[in-house]
Amino acid sequence: MPLFVIQKHKASTLHYDFRLEVDGVLKSWAVPKGPSTDPREKRLAIMTEDHSMEYGDFEGVIPEGEYGAGAVIVWDRGTYKNLKKNNNPTISEGIKEGHIIFYLNGIKLKGGYSLTRFRGGDSNHWLLVKMDDTEADARRNPVNTQPESVISGKTIEEIEKNRKK
């Protein structure tokens, strides 16, 4: 099963880096508001550069002066599955076409999600939306109620503070 990871990243603006393992790299989107468990919520997701698989474990502080300077925690991770029948199209093909649906099996997030490109084929603007399945829950708000790392249990503020000492 391919992996997914969501890193909470307190750079110049706070966002959540949503990453899916595809063909040996982490395809990545920056989601300013983070993922929702409510199918009525459409979350803007800006496609960013691919990251290496090993970066998916990174938790710590990117030093000032470097790209993306600021604290990072692993907010959620697990495996995912392409929800297109017979893996057709594949996730890789779906990304090129601008639409993928997949099932997340994470610690905080479970169930189907879609990512859909908008503003045309060259756009890096996508929408991340929870599918309306048994894991959908409009009352949950894990971005607010479960802010801690799934690796260390620390919040991003704690990671940041430790570095400054």
Q: Which residues bind Mn ion (CB under 5 A)?
A: 9, 17
In whole angstroms, the minimum distance from the beta carbon of 160 to Mn ion comes to 15
SS3 state at 9: strand
Looking at the Cβ atoms of 9 and 43, the one nearer to Mn ion is 9
Q: What separation in angstroms does the CA of 152 have from each of 8, 76, 102, 155, 159? A: 13, 11, 27, 9, 10
In whole angstroms, the minimum distance from the beta carbon of 142 to Mn ion comes to 19
Looking at the Cβ atoms of 67 and 88, the one nearer to Mn ion is 67
Residue 158 to residue 76: CA distance in whole angstroms = 17
Looking at the Cβ atoms of 17 and 59, the one nearer to Mn ion is 17
In whole angstroms, the minimum distance from the beta carbon of 68 to Mn ion comes to 5
Instruction: Decide: 143 and 16 in contact? Cβ < 8 Å.
Output: yes
In whole angstroms, the minimum distance from the beta carbon of 135 to Mn ion comes to 26
**Of 85, 82, 97, 104, residue with least CA distance to 23:** 82
Looking at the Cβ atoms of 3 and 83, the one nearer to Mn ion is 3
What's the chain's Rg over C-alpha atoms?
A: 15
User: Nearest residue to Mn ion, using CB?
Assistant: 9
